[in-house]
Structure 1
Amino acid sequence: MTSEQSATTGHLPLKDDRVTPPLRGGERETLRAFLDFHRGTLAMKCAGLTDEELRRHSMPPSTLTLLGLVRHMAEVERTWFRQVINAEDVPLVWSPEGDRQVAYDASGATRSEAFAAWEAEVAHARRIEAAAPSLDVTGHFARWGEDVSLRLVMLHLIHEYARHNGHADFLREGIDGTVGF
């Protein structure tokens, strides 16, 4: 999409297949689009890499990997949308005991299992968000002991993805030199 096209469509111009956030959309449409944009960015950072490359550590002593980030974001999606907003009694994907750090350990993980779990959680999250009558819907976040709105959840996930997509940039650059938005 060119800059000229973006003026016509009212969306950010991108040169890839990610969702393009609207330039003048409503609150919910904009939050949804930015969340999907960041989901697409994480997938893009992992595209074309082998399981071994996806498990490659950034730099010692860090054990952070692209596959670990994908697994972590599956847990984040599951926690905030299914456990908090939808009040589902489901354990974490990789730790029935609730240890959120387990997802980062991708030493035995594969692209297929990590992406299958992440994509399933994203699909659940999209259904839950779409079914909510408004952004003011609330759920209880037990770790904080507080009720939170769907609006906060969506903003939190945008923040979480944006932060980790910065990590993904560095990880991908270290693997094959690929950089970019």
Structure 2
Amino acid sequence: MTALPPAPTRVDPPFTDGERAAVEAWLDVHRATLLTTCAGLTPEQLGERSVPPSSLSLRGLLRHMTDVERYWFTRVVAGREAPTVYWTDEEDAEFTGVGAEGDDPTTAVPAELAAFTAEVEASRAVAAGQGSLDDLSAGLRYGEQVSLRWVYLHMIEEYARHNGHADLLRECTDGTTGD
């Protein structure tokens, strides 16, 4: 089976950036780290559940982070209605990394990777339209507005946690990590 294309080059954030440039750069490092951890594996390997009894897979992490990007930037920051991509009424179903019945990973995984990439670009566009990190969201989270700063910091935390999971999954698959 064909491996996925290489991940984008990760660029270390400059040491002297202002706050906004710093949080944007660190979020991009974490986005690239997830892709780096997945790079070079086949679609089937991305769907492997390597740490029993967990149903978590690298494919599931990509699917989860696609919806996380959409939720925080499109729905909360921009306040726009947008359907979920993978989230369902079944809690954490996207984490299993398994698509619909009869799912062919060879075609589904490249489409899922494209959906993740498109959602990251949409998130960047939403953030670029905000004036400052102090700007409050147009949408609500638990009935409250949140600042763009809060969303950036939460996203860095979300990626950092899941990138740790991704390292363990990748290491179980072929002995390497995303570092």
Superposed pair shares fold, TM > 0.5: yes
Residue identity over aligned pairs, in percent, reads: 48
Give the whole-Å Cα distance in 1 for the aligned partners of 2:153 and 2:84: 21
Give the whole-Å Cα distance in 1 for the aligned partners of 2:132 and 2:89: 29
2:73 partner letter = F
Partner of 1:141, secondary structure, is: coil
* Partner residue in 1 for 2:111: 113
**1:137 Cα deviation (Å)?**
1.5
* Partner residue in 2 for 1:88: 80
Q: How does 1:8-157 map to 2 (within 5 A)?
A: 17-95=9-87, 101-108=92-99, 110-139=108-137, 140-142=139-141, 144-157=142-155
**1:116 Cα deviation (Å)?**
1.2
**Aligned residues of 1:71 and 1:118 also touching (Cα < 8 A):** yes
* Partner residue in 2 for 1:171: 169
* Partner residue in 1 for 2:5: none
**Aligned residues of 1:92 and 1:98 also touching (Cα < 8 A):** no
* Partner residue in 2 for 1:9: none
Structure 2: which 5+ residue stretches go unaligned?
1-7, 100-104
Give the whole-Å Cα distance in 1 for the aligned partners of 2:160 and 2:127: 19
Give the whole-Å Cα distance in 1 for the aligned partners of 2:173 and 2:149: 36
**1:78 Cα deviation (Å)?**
0.1
**Aligned residues of 2:27 and 2:156 also touching (Cα < 8 A):** yes
Structure 1: which 5+ residue stretches go unaligned?
1-15
**1:24 Cα deviation (Å)?**
1.0
**1:31 Cα deviation (Å)?**
0.2
Alignment coverage as a number of residue pairs: 164
Determine which structure has greater relative contact order: mean sequence separation of CA pairs < 8 Å that are 6+ residues apart, divided by chain length. 2
- TM-score, normalised via structure 2 length: 0.86
- TM-score, normalised via structure 1 length: 0.85
Would the alpha carbon gap of residues 19 and 98 (structure 1) be closer, same or farther in structure 2, given more than 3 Å must change? farther
**1:164 Cα deviation (Å)?**
0.3
Partner of 2:150, secondary structure, is: helix
Give the whole-Å Cα distance in 1 for the aligned partners of 2:150 and 2:56: 27
Deviations 1:52-88 (A, max 9, x none): 1000002221000000000000000000000000011
Q: Which has the higher strand share?
A: 1
Write out the 4+ residue segments of structure 1 that deviate beyond 4 Å after TM superposition.
Answer: 97-100
Deviations 1:1-58 (A, max 9, x none): xxxxxxxxxxxxxxx8202211111000000000000000000000010011000002
